[in-house]
Structure 1
Amino acid sequence: MPAGSGSPSRHRKTSSGPVSDAGFVLDVRNLGRRPGTLREMHRTVTEHGRLGLDLIAIPADAEVELDLQLQAVSEGVLVTGTASGPTVGECSRCLEPFDDQVQIRLTELFAYPDSNTEQTTEDAEVYRMEDDLIDLEPVIVDAIGLELPLQPLCSPDCAGLCPECGVRMAVAGPDHGHEILDPRWAKLAQFATDAPGTGDPAEGSTHPDRSAPAAADADVVSENQEEK
């Protein structure tokens, strides 16, 4: 579905609908409305518009391969098969561009204009034919929008970006890392860095030398004993 669109819905054709058998438009008049009649078809369609989501899509001017079976039933034409094409995207983890392929399976009924299904079914519940033409583009738009991931990855094990410096972890190497200090100890670490000395408790001490008075008292006692 186009980028930013909501949930898929059935598209009703207007007077400006499909007019020829080309691209995603299929002419089914050769089925003749005979239930059980089958037609196999393969077609390569160059899609001029982007098909997909914000982060991943089939790009404009890409080739979409259609492998289909058309079967006439009582109420319309049943279309089954596959549509496949290249995709380009941006990884939701590392933000790098990447290429891939998408294949969608189609099983859709296109109701005849005068059928009971067409007359009794809401517009959003079934696709319709117009002038024996089927327009597959809205079917493919809806199916691709459901098939592509909302958060695409360049690889299932993509490690994303480093949360600290933003470098891609795939190229950063196994030794990449950052020393992360608990913010509760940041001030203490700064104080330890700014404090003088080498960490020796005796170095830089501002306390007086308590052994000096004791030595002086011992000298006085010794002198008194000599005088006696």
Structure 2
Amino acid sequence: MPRPPRSDARANRAGILDAARSTLAIDPHASVDVIARSAGLSRRTLYGHFDDRDALIRELIVTGAQRFNAIAESVTDPDARIALARLAARLWQEAAHVQFIAALALDEAHVEHTADALAPLRRAVSQLVQRGQDDGSFRADLAAPTLSRLIEEVARTVVARTVVAGTDATSSGAANLAVRTVLSIAGLSWREADDLLSAHPDITDVPA
């Protein structure tokens, strides 16, 4: 059996990831040298943990995906409409605080890797859509896999455009728009979305 990494090696790896997050948030094109200096380590030490810059970015995507997958698991509302709205809001709020990772994850160079890392979330969305179709909450003119994919693609477009435009994605208004967009794709009218969000204002509350 391989020996577990020493505590200093684990600390170095964690430091590199933290430095990469903070550095790339300021400059998405920051080099390995810049990230290593930010972590207070040599370039050689960084390469001892990650083969190259892409490997480092993939690790950031994986750790971010784990948080998204955990959010999907935490949403347990029995009403499919509320569950979808809450899931959309929580994912949006999480993505809003790590917009640079969201941008990197949505880059064509990392889409396939991102899809693999987010497999549990995608399954949760698919199951939720199927449940909503079964109880008549969501549109049934599209097969569940197709509707799930459409919701994913629309959400991806909204996030990407927000990152590019520099919109304040952490605002409650941005979260509200994201949730309404997802509900609309699922088949709810704007009045139905209004009623749902009015009855459950906590869904789009943005933590201070």
Higher helix share: 2
TM-score by length of 1: 0.23
Question: Rg larger in 1 or in 2?
Answer: 1
Higher strand share: 1
TM-score by length of 2: 0.25
